[in-house]
């Protein structure tokens, strides 16, 4: 009898251990395959799982792998140039140190933006939004995120001035967490598609606020962890779209699909062909 009990105990422990390993793998490791067909796919900072984020190689990889849009982040330099970089400071992604706004374009161009990702990208440079547009406009959609507009006065006008050099803006979207900045972009040129990034602190979202946002924004974008089916349906009822971003958890992407989101902002888009791929973090 004792042997039978021990056998049952051993089997139970094995099952529990397997479940824990499975869950740990979901939470702590990159996902291996996610089906994204039918969704708008946005390469987050380019295909940033494969090349240094926000650099030409990352954007080129995103194009090669079939993304619908390239997402980039924009700050202003000391001399008022539109610089493609995510952080307020250059420290994390380059060999420099200090706020982006303390560097002129010439100084920023001297920084190495590739070695911190991989030695083979040594010497890769930060690019401007103008350079990105010249290289990729007409080949793929471009999603431009304005970072900290309050710290970059005049960035809205500069972005619109650049975009107005292009005849067709249907493939261009500008987004930000700063609702005021997005209203300003819309006022400057209503042909520019607008996306509002929602903070979790704004949830649950009221119908009145949703009416306000959808009066000028084509996309209302969420961290998928705060998404629910009701809010997606409300946005769709207003003939607008929902894009989501996520941390490294396949189940959250599946949740986005289940709730009917229109697209995913991700580090891997629809190309899960390599052994490991990861989804995006803001």
Cα gap 142→43, rounded to integer Å: 9
- Catalytic, 186? Answer no
Q: Quickly count: other Cβ atoms within 10 Å of residue 127's Cβ.
A: 22
Q: Select which of 75, 86, 186, 236 is catalytic.
A: 86
Q: Select which of 44, 75, 186, 236 is catalytic.
A: 44
- Catalytic, 44? Answer yes
Burial class for 115, CB neighbours closer than 10 Å (0-12, 13-18, 19+)? middle
CA 151 from chain centre, in angstroms, equals 21
Contact (CB, 8 A) for 192 and 186 = yes
Bridge pairing between strands 69-76 and 219-223? unpaired
Tokens of 166: 């292009």
**Which residue, among 140, 195, 130, has the nearest Cα to 164 in the 3D structure?**
130
Q: Which residues does the annotation mark as catalytic?
A: 44, 86
């Amino acid at each position: 009898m004792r042997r039978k009990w021990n056998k049952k105990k051993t089997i139970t422990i094995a099952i529990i251990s397997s479940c824990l390993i499975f869950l740990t793998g979901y939470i702590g490791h990159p996902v291996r395959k996610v089906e994204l067909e039918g969704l708008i796919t946005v390469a987050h900072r380019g295909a940033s799982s494969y090349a240094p984020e926000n650099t030409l190689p990352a954007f080129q990889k995103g194009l090669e792998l079939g993304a619908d849009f390239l997402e980039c982040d924009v700050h202003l330099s000391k001399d008022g140039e539109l610089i493609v970089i995510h952080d307020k400071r250059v420290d994390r992604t380059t060999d420099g140190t200090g706020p982006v706004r303390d560097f002129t374009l010439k100084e920023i161009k001297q920084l190495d933006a590739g070695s911190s990702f991989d030695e083979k990208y040594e010497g890769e440079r930060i690019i401007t939004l103008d350079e990105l547009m010249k290289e990729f406009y007409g080949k793929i959609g471009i999603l431009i995120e304005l970072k900290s507009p309050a710290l970059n006065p005049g960035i809205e006008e500069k972005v619109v001035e650049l975009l107005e050099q292009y005849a067709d803006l249907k493939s261009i979207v500008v987004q930000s967490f700063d609702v005021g900045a997005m209203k300003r972009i819309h006022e400057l040129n209503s042909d520019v598609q607008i996306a509002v990034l929602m903070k979790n602190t704004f949830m649950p979202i009221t119908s009145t606020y949703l009416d306000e946002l959808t009066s000028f924004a084509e996309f209302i974008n969420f961290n998928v962890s705060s998404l629910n089916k009701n809010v997606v349906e409300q946005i769709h009822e207003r003939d607008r779209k929902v894009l989501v971003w996520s941390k490294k958890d396949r189940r959250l992407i599946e949740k986005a699909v289940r709730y009917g989101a229109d697209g995913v902002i991700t580090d891997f888009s629809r190309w899960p062909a390599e052994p490991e791929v990861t989804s995006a973090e803001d």
